[in-house]
Amino acid sequence: MKNFIKCLLLLGVLYLGYTYRKTIYNFVLENFVINKNIVTKEANLYYKNYDYNYVSDTTNFKPENKQDLLNIFYTILNNGWDNFEFYCDLDYSSCYDDISSIIEESDDLSNINNMVSPYNSYKYFSYSISTLGKVNITIEKLYSDDEIKYIDSEINKIIEQNITDDMTTREKIKAFHDYIINLIQYDTSLNIDKNHSNKASVALSEKIAVCSGYSDLMSIFLDKLGLKNYKIVNDEHVWNLVFIDNEWLHIDLTWDDPTTSDGKPVLIHDFFLIDTEKLEEISTKLKNNLHEFDKNIYIEAN
């Protein structure tokens, strides 16, 4: 009789376990796996202590929707972390599909990349998802420690030789803008794989750059001034947006350094600290779309 009762109890436990297996699994995952495995680190030196309308720093590493994911990716990059692990909220059924879309299919990650310091921007961004639903993010940064040391040293020299404490912020930005344009020529070969002219380090050492090399230099300099800024990107171009004197203004060193047929350097200020209305007016006159941008992402420029 006792054995029969034990068998009934065992069958009851098995039945309940099978019937409520998802609830039990979720309980164990939520209370004993997720809460014990999310580990954050200190931010590095290039962390930007401000948020944007599109993304913001977060401490919520159990995303419930796509915006939470975007905030997590921004936080990972902005803090300068090389790797990070998190779990999706158990009720967020499309989480893993959204992760795949953000990283592999859309421009979301690229846009976020341009909102952090160039020193924290990624060259490669990869991920994996375990059977328990743990998302592992691994990042290879665009700039090595040696490159950062070199860039900082060169920019500090430019500051020492061209910028004084009695200058206004605008005058400091203009001095750097003019120096870089006089120093560097646009890489008309566009052979980025060979020349690496998309990087600030090569722009300074080889005196050539494409738009991303120009804009990285300006972004690093603006960071040194303590100004809120990011890079605006479309399919063909990248330039800077900076918050100064209580307004967001555009700077495009590439277009202020036009390529001439005789190769002689030219310095103009058509794209120096202008608002979006002026930017669009110039683009209309030039009849190109190189300065069109997604106003749902780069909201500050609206």
Domains of the chain (ranges, CATH numbers):
19-141 (no CATH), 145-301 (3.10.620)
Q: DSSP 3-state helix, strand, coil percentages of the chain (rounded to 5)?
A: 45, 15, 40
Which DSSP string corresponds to 146-181?
Answer: HHHHHHHHHHHHHHHHH--TTS-HHHHHHHHHHHHH
Judge whether 210 and 186 are in contact, CB under 8 Å.
yes
Which helix (H) or strand (E) segment holds residue 282: the answer is helix 276-286
**Model pLDDT for residues 39-67, shown as the tens digit of each residue:** 889 999 999 999 999 999 999 999 999 99
**Model pLDDT for residues 155-193, shown as the tens digit of each residue:** 999 999 999 999 999 999 999 999 999 999 999 888 888
**Model pLDDT for residues 213-222, shown as the tens digit of each residue:** 999 999 999 9
Beta strands of the chain (E only): which ranges? Answer: 83-87, 122-129, 134-141, 185-186, 208-209, 229-233, 238-244, 247-251, 272-274
Q: Which two tokens stand for residue 282?
A: 């110039």
Say whether pLDDT at 14 is over 60. no
CA proximity to 269, closest of 162, 182, 206: 182
Average pLDDT, the chain: 89
Beta strands of 88-169 (E only): which ranges? Answer: 122-129, 134-141
pLDDT of residue 9: 55
Tell how far CA 140 is from the center of its chain: 13
Number of H helices, E strands in the chain: 12, 9
Q: For residue 203, count other CB atoms closer than 10 A to its CB.
A: 27
Kindly give, in sequence order, each residue whose CB lies less than 8 Å from that of residue 204, ignoring residues fewer than 6 positions away: 150, 151, 154, 155, 183, 217
Distance from C-alpha of 300 to C-alpha of 127, rounded to nearest angstrom = 30
- If you ran DSSP here, which 8-state letter would residue 65 be given? S
Q: Which residue's structure tokens are 């060169």?
A: 154
Judge whether 52 and 230 are in contact, CB under 8 Å.
yes
**Model pLDDT for residues 61-84, shown as the tens digit of each residue:** 999 999 999 999 999 999 999 999
Q: Which two tokens stand for residue 56?
A: 């913001």
Say whether pLDDT at 199 is over 80. yes
Q: Which residue's structure tokens are 């800077």?
A: 240
Give whole-number Cα distances, 13 to 16, 132, 302, in Å: 5, 24, 61
Cα angle 134, 140, 142 (rounded to 5 degrees) comes to 145
**Model pLDDT for residues 245-292, shown as the tens digit of each residue:** 999 999 999 999 987 655 677 899 999 999 999 999 998 998 888 999
Above pLDDT 70, what percent of the chain? 86
- If you ran DSSP here, which 8-state letter would residue 62 be given? S
Report pTM: 0.86
